[in-house]
Structure 1
Amino acid sequence: MPTIIHPRDFTAERAWGALDIAQLDGITVRLHWTDAPYRWHVNDGAEVFTVLDGRVEMRWREAGEEHRRLLEPGDVFFAEVGCEHVAHPQGPARILVVERAGSV
């Protein structure tokens, strides 16, 4: 039986709370709700980060220099292995994250 999820209806009890949607050969697909920044981190695998609702300022560092980009609904941020980054929502946001299971 298929599952249908309406991201705008999803909220969590805390920032970055998640709804696990699928496990695909060691890859997780999760819907996150947040209204607070995450923390600077580096994933142990690649990460696909898609804003579904709200706005998120994504920050990342390359060669010691910090970059910023405002992501709107439908925008995708792809972080390769070793990309140090942090997400700063601009109010409540819902984000679809695809990454290696157990990643930070």
Structure 2
Amino acid sequence: MEVIRSKEFTANRAWGAKDIAKMNGITTRLHWTDQPYKWHVNAGEEVFVVMDGIVEMLYKENNEVKSAILNSGDIFFASVGTEHVAHPKGEARILVVEREGSV
């Protein structure tokens, strides 16, 4: 049993993570960042939950770049093949649920 206070979590580098759980090939991690990630496509679906902060999520649909502003409590679901990149606006804490070994 563990209680995790997501708003208190920090890491020593951008996108540093605390592994929370690995269940049946699915990982759940809490990330801290103040820097953009990189454009990528995951090996499977991804659930991206903003726990604290604001994140601009850029993603491609039919080769067109689109954008969504995610606030605390907002969820972004990347289906298989969705190319995307997260750009935090300042510090952000993000819960990511994805296939083990994904980028």
Identity of aligned residues (%): 63
Pairing 1:19-58 to 2, within 5 Å after superposition: 19-58=18-57
Aligned counterpart, 1:7: 6
The Cα RMSD (Å) is: 0.4
Partner in structure 1 of residue 66 of structure 2: 67
Q: Deviations over 1:36-73 (max 9, x none)?
A: 00000000100000000000000000111000010000
Following the alignment from structure 2 to structure 1, what is the Cα–Cα distance between the partners of residues 91 and 28?
Answer: 20
Superposed structure 1 runs of 4+ greater than 2 Å apart: none
- Between the aligned partners of 1:51 and 1:98, the Cα distance in structure 2 is 12
1:13-57 deviation per Cα after TM superposition (whole angstroms, max 9, x unaligned) = 100000000001000000000000000000010000000000000
Say which SS state the counterpart of residue 23 (structure 1) adopts.
strand
- Structure 2 stretches of 5 or more lacking a match? none
- With structure 2 as the length reference, what TM-score do the two structures score? 0.99
**Structure 2 residue 93 is matched with structure 1 residue 91:** no
Aligned length: 103
In structure 2, the residue matched to 1:103 is 102
Give the Å deviation of 1:97.
0.2
Distance 1:20 1:90 in 2: 23
Q: Any idea what SS the aligned residue of 2:7 has?
A: helix
Aligned letter for 2:27? T
Task: Give the aligned residue type for 2:42.
Answer: N
- Distance between the aligned counterparts of 2:64 and 2:44, measured in 1? 22
Following the alignment from structure 1 to structure 2, what is the Cα–Cα distance between the partners of residues 103 and 57?
21
Q: Any stretches of 5+ residues in structure 1 without a counterpart?
A: none
Residue 13 of structure 2 aligns to a residue whose secondary structure is coil
For 2:60 and 2:44, the matched residues in 1 are separated by 17
